[in-house]
Chains A and B, each alone.
Chain A
């Protein structure tokens, strides 16, 4: 398949030199993507200061799930799991290419192949970026970076498949189900005394639906943009076909025009995929992150409900005069848990805000600079071609 070297696109998450992680390249074998995870560290808890391991997508999911299921992290926003690499688009194109090979001209085939490679590259970039950001979120968090499984993930130089199987057996996924579906009714139903959490709840519920919508609309827009680039490709081929049979000045005009379209296609394609990488992916990521924040609110709401229940149980126990000590202990623990979640939750949600703003700023700036760069390329390309055509 393909090997890709990608420059790290972090969200300002790699600024702590004591633990630096990146995914410098990835390999595509059949349908499996193998990421090279590269770690540089000064921490003594690691065995070596620098090393690289090969990891598959499933290994990332295993890591995410073990973190979700760790009780200790209930008061933290768990970085969202990276989505599965989706090669459906390019795969479909490859299928079409294979089927239509006999009926295409050599030029048409070459053009389709070009398009295919561009699509593969785009999917690749996206998936590497999102897996990398996941690890960097963990490494830049004071608690997650110390997680034992995280360290194993980074260091263990063998295949993680065996470990993954064992983990499934241990946890059974009970907690996962509870946390996975943030119950909006429960969150909005909670009687909130804390002003901070009241505001956060309202903000997250509103923002969540808006960012989901913006993501979907951005995806549609990018799709259309890519269609336009594809059309440029086909038009270039068709112009060359007409030119081939001609012998006059007409031929030169057509060939020049075909050349322009060919080059424009590349620029448009890059414009579309950079917009996707910087804007659409940003929105996609934060849709997931907002969900993780909502999950935290849910866990806290659950803890509050548990505390309220434990109060009622204690009252009952006192009335009956039975198991009072146990009920008191239970109530104390529920309160402790709720307080811990509230305290840690506040910190997490505050830093989440800051992180979101920084990420938007970085990506919007980068996207704008890239769009300007590509447009300038188009301009010089078009100006040059118009010159040539006019002078002929």
Chain B
């Protein structure tokens, strides 16, 4: 997609969109693609914004056509998340968190700074938004939500205003506070709860390990970029040496070597992009997702607490009734009986809700685990294929150079 209006150029990293996935199963439907970005009209400085094109391809009849494209701003994505979390979190669904807000990165882009880092930032965000939407629509329950359909189809969306506080990071902060509170509660230990207890522990461990792995992959990305830079510098130096060399054949070989190193530098740069987009971002996504999983365990906790509080309240009301009977105050007795009935109903309702949310959370976690395994497998294979491609190129370059080295006389 050609950049317009002084938009920094986008990288050519396009996600793999073949008709069938690796096991010959059905491709994702609907399929989401974000591409292109447009700087707002007359927008310069801090009032400028980026709009991303969101294209959907689907065979589902709930949409009004098979392919359609809309324009959305980053705040629209945040707005979608807000709506979905408001509705579905409390039922124990894992609502995928949106990409992080980044003030620094975005400022550079808005101010029109055309350097590789701002181009990279835009590409990073574009890819993250795409993955975010794809996750939302691959959730069978969320796909049914009219807000999702509206987001994908509707020409103009009302601007989401209250997304200031609720970015991905803000949400996670809120979650962490909730988790702390929850861990202080005592839990009734029955068979079902043991499953949940072990599961939440697994999730916590996995999140820790994944954070560590992510740090290491980020280190790899940086070192690979450094290697690329140093290779380029070395290539120039070898070229200079070659031009200074007075033996003709050796001089030629050295300038060929400089060319090879230049091509290798390119390889390293491409590999660094792969390190980042295929591996590092996968981990970043899953660290956020594991946070969301913890969130739905919290919701179950809240539901349990509500039920327990209702039980306690019912108990209190029964005590009040007993006291009134003993004190023989018939006029207040009816009120007490009414309140008991009210709280008995609440207890039943909350117990049922707790069981429902437990079942949902359980189902969600199982679905999440499956998707995670599938996601990682696909990305690992893609990543290894990128490494493979890089090595095969390397062989080509060195094999082309070998006769040049042998020709030195």
Contact = CB atoms under 8 A, between A and B. Distances in A.
Classify chain A: how many residues form its interface, as a range. Answer: 35 or more
Classify chain B: how many residues form its interface, as a range. Answer: 35 or more
B245 A207 contact: yes
B334 interface: no
Nearest to B385: A386
A109 interface: no
Given A221-B234, A378-B387, A386-B381, A361 B405 contact: yes
Contacts of A360: 250, 253-254, 408
Contact of B387 (A207, A221, A242, A382): A382
B380 interface: yes
A329 interface: no
Interface stretch (B56-64, B180-188, B320-328, B369-377): B369-377
Interface string A261-291: 0001000000000000000000000000000
Interface in B363-409: 369, 372-373, 376-377, 380-381, 384-385, 387-388, 391-392, 394-395, 398-399, 401-402, 405-406, 408-409
Interface of B: 22, 202, 205-206, 209-210, 212-213, 216-217, 219-220, 223-224, 226-227, 230-231, 233-234, 236-238, 240-241, 244-247, 249-250, 253-254, 257, 369, 372-373, 376-377, 380-381, 384-385, 387-388, 391-392, 394-395, 398-399, 401-402, 405-406, 408-409
Contact of A389 (B384, B405, B408): B384
A291 B67 CA distance: 70
B237 A214 contact: yes
Contacts of B223: 224, 227-228, 231
The interface residues of chain A, by DSSP majority, are classed as helix
Interface of A: 203, 206-207, 210-211, 213-214, 217-218, 220-221, 223-225, 227-228, 231-232, 234-235, 238-239, 241-242, 245-246, 248-250, 253-254, 256-257, 260, 264, 353, 356-357, 360-361, 364-365, 368-369, 371-372, 375-376, 378-379, 382-383, 385-386, 389-390, 392
Contacts of A368: 398, 401-402, 405
Closest 9 pairs between A and B when the two form their complex, measured CB to CB: A224-B227, A238-B213, A231-B220, A361-B408, A364-B405, A217-B234, A382-B388, A227-B223, A250-B373
Contacts of B231: 221, 224
Contacts of A234: 216, 219
B373 A249 contact: yes
Contacts of B247: 353, 356-357
25 contacts: A203-B244, A207-B245, A210-B244, A211-B241, A213-B237, A217-B233, A217-B237, A220-B230, A221-B231, A223-B230, A224-B230, A238-B213, A241-B212, A242-B206, A245-B209, A246-B206, A249-B373, A250-B372, A253-B376, A361-B406, A361-B409, A375-B394, A379-B392, A386-B385, A392-B377
Given A206-B244, A353-B247, A379-B391, A224 B369 contact: no
Contacts of B385: 382, 386
A238 B402 contact: no
A376 B395 CA distance: 7
A357 B380 contact: no
Contacts of B399: 372
Contacts of A206: 244
Contact of B226 (A224, A239, A378): A224
Given A207-B245, A225-B227, A382-B391, A214 B381 contact: no
Contacts, number: 163
Given A245-B202, A389-B384, A214 B213 contact: no
B387 to A, nearest CB: 6
Nearest to A230: B223
A231 B214 CA distance: 11
A249 B380 CA distance: 13
Contact of B384 (A225, A260, A357): A260
Contacts of A256: 380
A363 B244 CA distance: 19
B406 A228 contact: no
Contacts of A213: 237, 240-241
Which of B217, B219, B377, B385 has the most A CB atoms < 10 Å from its CB? Answer: B377
Contacts of B392: 375, 379
A372 B387 contact: no
Contacts of A260: 384
B395 A221 contact: no
Given A228-B224, A235-B220, A371-B398, 11 more contacts: A218-B237, A224-B223, A224-B230, A231-B217, A242-B210, A245-B206, A246-B206, A250-B369, A257-B380, A357-B409, A389-B377
